[in-house]
């Protein structure tokens, strides 16, 4: 009797349910912002990566609308064929200006930027050293490249150095890859020490500034600026879809690197160029980040305020170490995380449970926005006190 070759899918789903790992989507029915309409009810939004509140900003909406009217909805082809508009190069120059690099290249998402860049930079004869907590796109880029991948314990430069000492000479090229702000934890990579190790062992360093761009550093350029490493040789990747409120990804670095990627990154060459509306919105966002520090000032004021309230009023909460607007509340089990997430939602607070396999331990992930009012932050703390 032939067995159903698709039957395993349902069994697999049952297993996922049993572990409390099952995920489902929730629909937002309003403009993005500090409050959103979530499945019919107004909630305070601590679930968004829109740190500066730009995704609902009228200036981005106006720029996207104008680009739509001028260039249409789709870019109709890859950049190397019919997809290129002047907007794309304008955006790439603006990113390079923000990052103070020679050039940059935009991809259709941050995920595509990572898998494209990593698989173009290293191959079978090469070595990748990867932080254990790296984002999925870095990990999958590493797998796709065919290089030997060795993980080092989270932010542990001592172990990384030992691995370099033991392994570096067995490979042609070496690439160290890391998030700069760790997306599900909120802590920062030890960038100066990583750069030093990379330089000492003739290795390339790729930092993923997805949660840092627009947020970290004096001008919002990211962790590279925060750690005063601007101008050093390294590869920066990031996204246009978090603090920049649009969609897309980028690589910033030397002109040679960017030129090479335009010739060798399959996820840039063989995919449709970023849409005109997304490109125009991101361009305005970069301008705002560069010329209006007020958003960043408000964001950090809010982060500091929430951290102070946690210390004063919720001393028993287990917060993961964070130096970013991402604050994580550690919980013992996936079921606990789901329960707290649900209780928060019932009390009008949107902050999601993050569970394995995304992270090793379950947590509630709170992301602070520049546009939160102090009263909204106080309300989060009040609700958490009730649950505690
Ligand atoms: C979100 C994220 C990405 C992916 O960016 P998208 O533009 O959403 O595809 C890559 N790296 C990190 C660290 C991220 O947090």
Same domain for 240 and 369?
A: no
Best residue among 183, 359, 367 to mutate for probing ligand 1, ranked by most atoms within 8 Å of CB = 183
DSSP strand pairing (363-367 vs 326-330)? antiparallel
- Same domain (yes/no): 212, 179: yes
Geometric angle at alpha carbon 162, from 158 and 165, rounded to 5°: 135
pLDDT in tens, 304-345: 999 999 999 999 999 999 999 999 999 999 999 999 999 999
Query: Atom 8 in ligand 1: which residue has the minimum CA distance?
Result: 110
d(CA 333, CA 296): 34
Same domain flag for 267 and 378: no
Domain check: are 315 and 192 in the same one?
A: no
Do the domain assignments include residue 152? yes
By residue range, what is the domain housing residue 176? 58-291
The answer to whether residue 4 sits within a structural domain is: no
CA dist 315 and 309 (Å) reads 9
Q: Are residues 240 and 324 in the same domain?
A: no
pTM of this structure: 0.96
Confidence band for 388, pLDDT divided at 50, 70 and 90: low
Instruction: Give the single-character DSSP code of 352.
Output: -
Would you tell me how many other CB atoms lie within 10 Å of the CB of residue 237? Answer: 28
Q: Is the pLDDT of residue 357 over 90?
A: no
What per-residue confidence (pLDDT) applies to 86? 97
Residue 1, pLDDT > 80, answer: no
Q: Is the CB of residue 299 less than 8 Å from the CB of residue 54? A: no
**How large is the average pLDDT for residues 27-39?**
96
Tell me, what's the pLDDT at 67?
98
Q: Which of 107, 178, 210, 325 for mutating ligand 1's site (highest number of atoms within 8 Å of CB)?
A: 210
Residue 17 belongs to a domain:
no
- 241 in ligand 1 pocket by Cβ < 6 Å? yes
161 is a domain residue: yes
If you average pLDDT over residues 365-386, what whole number do you get?
A: 97
Residues 157 and 247 occupy one common structural domain: yes
Task: Please tell me the least confidently modeled range out of 356-360, 372-376, 377-381.
Answer: 356-360
Are 274 and 169 in a shared domain? yes
Domain boundary among 234, 261, 291: 291
Residue 10 placed within a domain:
no
Residue 358 is predicted with a pLDDT of 86
Q: Which residues contact 358 (CB under 8 A, 6 or more apart)?
A: 184
Q: Is any ligand 1 atom within 6 A of the Cβ of residue 139?
A: no
Residue 15 falls inside a structural domain? no
Question: Do 242 and 367 sit in the same domain of this protein?
Answer: no
Specify if 11 maps to a domain. Answer: no
| Residue written as token pair 């349910």 | 17
Q: Are 331 and 271 found together in one domain?
A: no
Cis amide bond preceding 357, omega within 30 = yes
Q: What's the CATH code of the domain at 305?
A: 3.90.1150.10
Q: Whose CA is nearest to atom 14 of ligand 1?
A: 210
The stretch 191-208 carries a mean pLDDT of 98
Question: Do 87 and 167 fall into the same domain?
Answer: yes
Q: What is the pLDDT of residues 50-99, one digit of tens each?
A: 999 999 999 999 999 999 999 999 999 999 999 999 999 999 999 999 99
* Model pLDDT for residues 134-145, shown as the tens digit of each residue: 999 999 999 999
Look at residue 7 and tell me if it is in a domain: no
Q: Where are the alpha helices (DSSP H) in the chain?
A: 7-18, 58-71, 86-99, 110-121, 136-145, 157-167, 191-200, 223-226, 255-264, 266-269, 276-291, 294-313, 334-346, 374-387
We report the CATH number of the domain holding residue 166 as: 3.40.640.10
Same domain assignment for residues 230 and 343? no
Domain count, the chain: 2
**If pLDDT is split at 50, 70 and 90, which confidence band does 8 have?**
very high
Domain boundary among 245, 268, 291: 291
Where residue 20 falls among pLDDT bands split at 50, 70, 90? Answer: confident
In whole angstroms, what is the distance from residue 286 CA to residue 242 CA? Answer: 12
Residues in Cβ contact with 97 at an 8 Å cutoff, skipping those fewer than 6 apart: 286, 290
Per the prediction, the chain carries an average pLDDT of: 96
* CA-proximal residue: ligand 1, atom 1 (nearest): 210
Calpha distance 36→44 (Å, rounded): 7
Out of 291, 321, 350, pick the residue that ends a domain: 291
210 lines ligand 1 (CB under 6 A): yes
Residues 225 and 344 reside in one and the same domain: no
135 in contact with ligand 1, CB cutoff 6 A? yes
**Residue for token digits 């065919």?**
146
């Amino acid at each position: 009797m032939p067995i159903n070759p698709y039957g395993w899918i349902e069994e697999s789903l049952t297993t996922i349910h049993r572990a409390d790992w099952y995920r489902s989507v929730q629909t937002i029915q309003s403009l993005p912002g500090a409050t959103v309409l979530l499945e019919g009810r107004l909630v305070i939004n601590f679930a968004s990566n829109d740190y500066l509140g730009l995704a609902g900003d009228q200036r981005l909406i106006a720029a996207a609308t104008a680009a739509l009217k001028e260039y249409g909805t789709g870019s109709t082809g890859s950049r190397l064929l019919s997809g290129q508009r002047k907007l794309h190069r304008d955006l790439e120059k603006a990113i390079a200006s923000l990052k103070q690099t020679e050039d940059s290249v935009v991809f259709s998402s941050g995920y595509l930027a990572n898998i494209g860049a990593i698989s173009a930079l290293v191959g079978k004869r090469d070595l990748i050293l990867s932080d254990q907590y790296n984002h999925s796109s870095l990990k999958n880029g590493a797998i796709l490249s065919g290089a030997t991948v060795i993980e080092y314990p989270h932010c542990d430069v001592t172990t990384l150095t030992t691995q370099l000492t033991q392994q570096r000479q067995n490979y042609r090229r070496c690439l160290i890859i890391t998030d700069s702000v760790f997306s599900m934890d909120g802590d920062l990579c030890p960038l100066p020490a990583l750069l030093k190790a990379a330089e000492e062992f003739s290795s390339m360093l790729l930092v993923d500034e997805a949660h840092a761009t627009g947020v970290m550093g004096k001008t919002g350029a990211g962790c590279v600026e925060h750690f005063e490493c601007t101008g050093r040789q390294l590869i920066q990747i990031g996204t246009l879809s978090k603090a920049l409120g649009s969609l897309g990804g980028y690589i910033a670095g030397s002109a040679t690197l960017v030129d090479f990627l335009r010739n060798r990154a399959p996820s840039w060459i063989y995919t449709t160029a970023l849409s005109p509306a997304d490109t125009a919105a991101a361009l305005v966002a970069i301008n705002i980040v560069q010329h209006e520090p007020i958003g960043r000032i408000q964001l950090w004021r809010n982060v500091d305020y929430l951290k102070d309230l946690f210390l004063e009023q919720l001393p028993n909460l287990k917060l993961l170490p964070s130096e970013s607007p991402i604050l994580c509340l550690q919980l013992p089990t996936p079921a606990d995380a789901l329960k707290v997430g649900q209780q928060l939602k019932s009390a009008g607070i949107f902050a999601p449970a993050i569970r394995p396999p995304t992270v090793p331990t379950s947590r509630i992930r709170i992301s602070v926005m520049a546009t939160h009012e102090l009263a909204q932050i106080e309300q989060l703390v009040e609700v958490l006190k009730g649950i505690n």
